[in-house]
Amino acid sequence: MTRDEGAGPLCLVTGASGYIGGRLVPELLAAGHRVRCMARSARRLRDHPWAGRVEIVEGDATDPASTRHALDGADVAYYLIHAIGGAGGFAENDRRAARTFAGAARDAGVKRLVYLGGMAPQEELSPHLRSRAEVGRIMLDSGVPTAWLRAAVIIGSGSASFEMLRYLTERLPVMVTPRWVRTRIQPIAIRDVLHYLVASAALPPDVSRGFDIGGPDVLTYVGMMQRYAAVAGLRRRIIIPVPVLSPALSSLWVGAITPVPGALARPLVESLRNEVVCTDDDIGRYVPPPPDGPTGFDRAVELALRRVREADVATRWSSASTPGAPSDPLPTDPSWAGGSLYTDDRSCRTDASAERLWEVVEGIGGERGWYSFPVAWRARGVLDRLAGGVGLRRGRRDPRRLRIGETVDFWRVEELEPGRLLRLRAEMRLPGLAWLEFRVSEDDGRARLEQRALFHPRGLAGHAYWWTFLPFHNRVFGGMCRGIAHAAEEPQPQSTYSSGTDV
């Protein structure tokens, strides 16, 4: 792919398949820069919304030839690579990659290197932070003017350290915590990190040094968990400190509780024993603060949870990518990022026409019911009323047609593409957010129904809810999919129960 846009400096972005790199590219494009991305596999960049607007070259930072090729003609090179989470020892791999890249950047006449690493306080550092600092020194020693930005925890959906915080807080209402949860941390919002990264491309040539970057809040890890819980609408977490949990034990425990892979979680947990608070704000001498001012921790979490909060399930979980804010999830994020999401997928084919199948889908609920296990639906309606919810009594406005925004029993129509897609968002009392989605298509001349139930649990109760009802899913969801297909083959839709009778 070779499409350059604009006439600004040519920026090489390494780590473009990673969390920071993938979000930096659109910001550089918006600033009028030309962008070339280096990735070990070009395929990993294919799903990005910006993929058609940048040049993509394959390269491995430990391989001098491909690195030289990637750097050829670049004015600015962003170094956003690290090997933690990969196979083998990360320190040696990172050292080799940094040396190769820094040397190639000097030989290629690159005018500026920008490296984002961790903070490097004056104390004995964890292996991860020590390695990050070593990479910073290699970049500075390259002779190419270098901006080494040093950040603590970055807050945004998809950031490994944020995902760890998210899962620990959401899954553990009561926590037995080791000493490291009391260490002070100065987190920073992803959008502020990107602001500093973009601006660093234009630093004067005589500036070659490290800069600490941080948000306005200094918190402990416990403080971050409590504030996360408050923003996410969870109860205050109960924290029981113990002196015995070693970082090694903690990382095993983090691995068991969260889906963040152990090889990534372990170095991150080990690093939490180091206090990571800005010791300088010299960056302010060269770069103005972010346009809306530095983003506070609560606001950064709010932004990271925005897509889930607004129930923007389509852009959050499908591979159809819509450009969003840097704090939002991206389809290329690792599968463990973005918060928990349970799904139940069903599909079936029918001899009915796609039009007829769609009629049945659009007519679901109300008098026609939900095509499976009517007693269970009725019981769910009664339970919902008892819990103060709306139950099934709302029925539907029109037996055949739906509009976006209107209600169907205890659901609301969130998305409607006539003939193709219906997405309902649950309004029943639930420990989480739920959607039910139907897609109608034609496959080899036969109509096909794809049905998907999605559940984003809130706290431990949400997870317990999903697992409690899992044994009934085949009857409820499987039966629904088959029932809709059968109904489409009948001359008239079948009635399975009457709504409005749950109380």
Smallest distance from ligand NAP to CB 96, Å = 8
If binding is defined by CB under 6 A, does position 60 make contact with ligand NAP?
A: yes
| Among 152-160, 219-227, 343-351, 452-460, the segment contacting ligand NAP (CB under 6 A) | 152-160
If binding is defined by CB under 6 A, does position 153 make contact with ligand NAP?
A: yes
Q: Taking CB under 6 A as the rule, which mask of x and - marks residues 423-442 in contact with ligand NAP? A: --------------------
Q: H helices within 335-491, ranges in order? A: 354-362, 374-386, 459-469, 473, 479-489
The single-letter DSSP state of residue 10 is E
Strand partners, 443: 446
User: Which CB, 27 or 427, lies closer to ligand NAP?
Assistant: 27
Length of the chain: 503
Contacts of 404 (CB under 8 A, 6+ apart): 413, 414, 415, 416
The amino acid occupying position 326 is P
3-state secondary structure of 225: helix
Q: Taking CB under 6 A as the rule, which mask of x and - marks residues 4-43 in contact with ligand NAP? A: ----------xx-xxxxx-----------------xxx--
If binding is defined by CB under 6 A, does position 80 make contact with ligand NAP?
A: yes
The single-letter DSSP state of residue 476 is I
| Among 142, 159, 295, 451, interactor with ligand NAP by CB under 6 A | 159
Smallest distance from ligand NAP to CB 436, Å = 33
Smallest distance from ligand NAP to CB 42, Å = 10
If binding is defined by CB under 6 A, does position 62 make contact with ligand NAP?
A: yes
How many chain residues are in contact with ligand NAP, going by CB under 6 A?
Answer: 29
- Look at residues 208, 281, 242, 247 and name the one whose alpha carbon lies nearest to residue 128: 247
Smallest distance from ligand NAP to CB 434, Å = 30
User: Which CB, 259 or 374, lies closer to ligand NAP?
Assistant: 259
Largest CA distance in the chain: 79
Taking the C-alpha atoms of residue 477 and residue 479, their distance in angstroms, rounded to an integer, is: 5
User: Which CB, 39 or 71, lies closer to ligand NAP?
Assistant: 39
List of long-range contacts for 481-485, beta carbons under 8 Å, 24+ apart: 481/346, 481/347, 481/348, 481/449, 481/451, 482/348, 482/372, 483/370, 483/371, 483/372, 484/357, 484/360, 484/361, 484/364, 484/371, 484/438, 484/449, 484/451, 485/348, 485/349, 485/350, 485/352, 485/357, 485/449
Residues within window 100-139 making contact with ligand NAP, judged by CB under 6 A: 116-118, 132
Smallest distance from ligand NAP to CB 173, Å = 25
User: Which CB, 98 or 357, lies closer to ligand NAP?
Assistant: 98
User: Which CB, 81 or 408, lies closer to ligand NAP?
Assistant: 81
| Among 146, 161, 251, 350, interactor with ligand NAP by CB under 6 A | 161
Smallest distance from ligand NAP to CB 70, Å = 9
If binding is defined by CB under 6 A, does position 44 make contact with ligand NAP?
A: yes
User: Which CB, 153 or 201, lies closer to ligand NAP?
Assistant: 153
- Look at residues 158, 307, 300 and name the one whose alpha carbon lies nearest to residue 224: 300
Smallest distance from ligand NAP to CB 200, Å = 13
User: How much of the chain is helix, strand and coil, in % rounded to 5?
Assistant: 40, 20, 40
DSSP letters spanning 242-307: -S---HHHHHHHHHHHSSS-HHHHHHHHHHTTS-B--S--GGGGTSPPPTT-SPPHHHHHHHHHHH
If binding is defined by CB under 6 A, does position 165 make contact with ligand NAP?
A: no
Residues within window 438-477 making contact with ligand NAP, judged by CB under 6 A: none
Contact 339, 170 (CB under 8 A): yes
Smallest distance from ligand NAP to CB 399, Å = 50
Strand partners, 149: 116, 211
Burial class (CB in 10 A: 0-12, 13-18, 19+), 300: buried
If binding is defined by CB under 6 A, does position 151 make contact with ligand NAP?
A: yes
Q: Taking CB under 6 A as the rule, which mask of x and - marks residues 322-361 in contact with ligand NAP? A: ----------------------------------------
| Among 79-87, 315-323, 419-427, 443-451, the segment contacting ligand NAP (CB under 6 A) | 79-87
| Among 77, 97, 181, 229, interactor with ligand NAP by CB under 6 A | 97
What's the CA dihedral at 160, 39, 85, 189 to 10 degrees?
-20
Q: Which residues bind ligand NAP (CB under 6 A)?
A: 14-15, 17-21, 39-41, 44, 60-62, 80-83, 97, 116-118, 132, 151, 153-154, 159-161
